[in-house]
Amino acid sequence: MATKVRDYRKLAQDIKNTIGERNIQSATHCATRLRLVLKNSLDASIIKKIEQMAGVIQVVQAQGQFQIVIGTHAKDVYEHLAGMMDLSQDVPPVKESLFNRLIATMSGCIAPYVYVMAAAGLLQGLLIIVKMFADVGDTGAVKVFNMISWIPFTFLPVFIAVAGSRHFKCNTYIAVWCCMALASPSWGNIAASITPEAPLSFFFIPLTSVTYTSTVIPPIILVAVLSKLEHWLEKKLPDAARPICTPLICAAVMVPLTITVIGPISTVISTALSDAYNVLYEVIPWVASAIFGALWEVLVVFGIHWSFTPYHPAEL
């Protein structure tokens, strides 16, 4: 069983010495694991020795990676290891199934800030508990703390922009610019003004009243496509024009593409899932409830759970 560790440098040093510096081809980390790609596989005795190190929970070998489960200090161990070696975070591609690649993408875009989301949810829970036992009313303090607790959810696309830009290896500032446009109050005002009686178009493409605060799928797809566009532009644009033209073209293309195509399509899919669930619930309620309970965490991960939830954060 792992024990609490404070000397992350020693743990990194022990891992490096045990595996062998020349055997470590590349490294990266996620929220809880140090992920290594090794040139040669390790003997069972060496693996057992690593598992017995203070601070190591277990060792997992999967998808061509040697994964050392450390817990919330995985980043600290990686940073010390990176300081000792010339490590590359560009892990060589490993043949994976589509499902595994999809889960890896979701993890890479969400895991880095999951504790911020958990802290925000905890703050919301504390406010509910306080209101149950104390007549605090609608005071200024309650309003301020309530606002703070909803910020990570309201501006979720911005968190995804930061984490997603690292996962897809594109410019973080361009990704943040594009995703901030999705969460912008200005877009909310524009979307609210769109009605059947007062339609609005982007050139010849009709705009919808879909907003993107608290969404997951649209910003992830935005950053994924942005990375392809940015890398293509870097190859095509002259060196002198690249610094200003790359962000200009990326923002001018990706934001309209998201609000006209990517966002509406993801909304149609989530609405269709919600409607299908409602039909199933009317016909066979217990089956619908069982499926809903089993898939709830998956729905949350993919950001389509709001289609099944009667209240939106902005209304609470």
Burial class of residue 3 in the structure, from the number of CB atoms within 10 Å of its CB (0-12 exposed, 13-18 middle, 19+ buried): exposed
pLDDT tens track of the chain, all 316 residues? 444 446 888 998 999 999 988 888 888 777 678 888 888 888 888 999 999 998 888 888 866 678 898 887 888 888 888 888 876 555 455 555 666 667 667 777 877 787 888 899 899 999 989 888 888 777 888 899 999 999 998 999 999 999 999 888 899 999 999 999 999 999 999 999 999 899 999 998 999 998 998 888 899 999 999 999 999 999 999 999 999 999 999 999 999 999 999 988 887 877 787 788 788 878 888 887 887 777 766 665 555 555 455 444 444 4
What sections of the chain are H helices per DSSP?
8-19, 44-51, 74-84, 98-110, 114-133, 140-154, 156-168, 172-183, 185-193, 217-236, 242-257, 263-283, 285-301
Q: How many domains does the chain have?
A: 2
Looking at the fold, whether 54 and 165 belong to one and the same domain comes out as: no
Determine the structural domain holding residue 61 and report its residue range.
8-95
Average pLDDT along the chain: 83
In a domain, 72, yes or no: yes
In a domain, 57, yes or no: yes
Domain boundary at 62, 79, 95, which? 95
In a domain, 67, yes or no: yes
Q: State how far Cα 149 lies from the chain centre.
A: 18
Looking at the fold, whether 164 and 246 belong to one and the same domain comes out as: yes
Measured CA distances, 204 to 199, 200, 201, 282 (Å): 12, 9, 6, 40
CA atoms within 13 A on the CB side of 41: 6
102-131, pLDDT tens digit by residue? 766 777 787 778 788 889 989 999 998 988
Q: Three-state DSSP class for 210?
A: coil
Looking at the fold, whether 90 and 169 belong to one and the same domain comes out as: no
In a domain, 110, yes or no: no
Looking at the fold, whether 272 and 175 belong to one and the same domain comes out as: yes
* CATH number assigned to the domain comprising residue 18: 3.30.1360.60
